[in-house]
Amino acid sequence: MSSQRHTHQPLLGALFKLGSVVLLASMSACVKFLGQTVPIGEIIFVRGLIALVVLAVFAHRTAGLQVLKTNNWRRHASRALFGTISMFSLFTALSMIPLADVTAISFASPLFITILAMLFLGERIHAFRWTALIMGVTGVVIMISPHLALHDGNLLGVSIALSAAIFAALAMIVLRSMSQGEPAVTITFYFLLTATVCSLVTICWGWIMPSTEQWLVMLLTGILGVAGQLSMTYAYRYADASTIAPLDYTSMIVAVALGRLVFNETPSWSTWVGAPLVIVAGLIIFWREYRLSQTRYHVANDAV
């Protein structure tokens, strides 16, 4: 009983979750700063190398390096590949369009997860989630509508941000099909390893010798990224997903603030109108998933 009280601390979990939101949003700001002058592949390589070292040390100090062993290579490869494409797309979009716009578009990922689960996992979508999907898609269309003109230079950036959300959803679909016993640190390690190796290939397209300032920002990017991931891991250790997952959407506030303070960016009217629709749709889908999981839990207990 004392162990359960120790691990179930919702307030501490929420603080870790908010910390991860701030850390990962700050990492995105660093990527945006670097993306104007440093190749995206080079940024991902340095970030990945730092994160792999920190993650390996973390694994060694906690469960031991044997936690990185796996027999689930095929699903790890699929998840890592989709995640890597999503990361490349996300970092590229950050270098092209405002930070808040990229963040708002990334909120569409739960919508794509719902659609992909219906198409590939055979999950049924009832009226409740159809309503959320329609609301969310409407929000996405509103956000991207000002960029649909062919002469708009942001159209490519918006398209790449959408592809980042789609590939992130594909990675989550693969995660759903993976064994529940697969540790989060193992999944994260092989994703980072894949992203780092793939980013190294981009050296063929030309890397630059970073300045001292750029080296420091790249180092900060790696530290913020792995700190954000670890903070998120601890958040779900101390609190239920139903309690803290909605806090993801506070990243919009952080993104708007960083965009304004660091890059002098102001979100367009379409982002202010469309983003709340996407956020509400995501919360509805999450709440529905939570209710279904609770129903399955009670049915399983009754059967016992």
pLDDT tens digit sequence for 234-258: 887 787 766 677 778 888 888 989 9
DSSP conformation class of 150: T
Domain of residue 30, residue span: 2-108+151-266
Over residues 80-127, the pLDDT tens digits come to 999 999 999 999 999 998 898 899 889 888 888 888 878 876 777 777
Model pLDDT, residue 119: 80
Model pLDDT, residue 184: 74
Mean pLDDT value of segment 23-33? 94
Model pLDDT, residue 290: 64
Over residues 163-182, the pLDDT tens digits come to 999 999 898 888 777 655 67
- Classify residue 297: in a domain, yes or no: no
C-alpha distances out from residue 81 to 102, 170, 174, 190, 198, Å: 21, 10, 11, 10, 9
Q: Kind and range of the H or E element at 101?
A: helix 99-106
Rounded Cα distance between 275 and 278, Å, is: 5
Rounded Cα distance between 23 and 29, Å, is: 10
- Classify residue 249: in a domain, yes or no: yes
Cβ neighbours around 106 below 10 Å, total: 22
Contact 246, 21 (CB under 8 A): no
- Classify residue 115: in a domain, yes or no: no
> What is the share, in percent, of the chain residues with pLDDT greater than 90?
30
Rounded Cα distance between 155 and 134, Å, is: 23
State residue 116 phi and psi, 5-degree precision: -65, -35
Q: What total number of domains does the chain contain?
A: 1
The mean pLDDT of the chain is 82
Mean pLDDT value of segment 217-231? 89
- Classify residue 136: in a domain, yes or no: no
- Classify residue 122: in a domain, yes or no: no
Model pLDDT, residue 112: 86
Report how far apart the first and last C-alpha atoms of the chain are (Å, whole number): 22
- Classify residue 70: in a domain, yes or no: yes
Cβ neighbours around 209 below 10 Å, total: 6
Model pLDDT, residue 296: 52
- Classify residue 301: in a domain, yes or no: no
More confident residue, 297 or 174: 174
Model pLDDT, residue 242: 62
Contact 218, 47 (CB under 8 A): yes
Model pLDDT, residue 302: 47
3 pLDDT above the threshold of 50: no
- Give the predicted TM-score (pTM) of the model: 0.83
Q: Is 57 exposed, middle or buried (CB count within 10 Å of its CB: 0-12, 13-18, 19+)?
A: exposed
Contact 275, 107 (CB under 8 A): yes
Model pLDDT, residue 2: 41
Model pLDDT, residue 4: 46
Contact 276, 134 (CB under 8 A): no
- Classify residue 227: in a domain, yes or no: yes
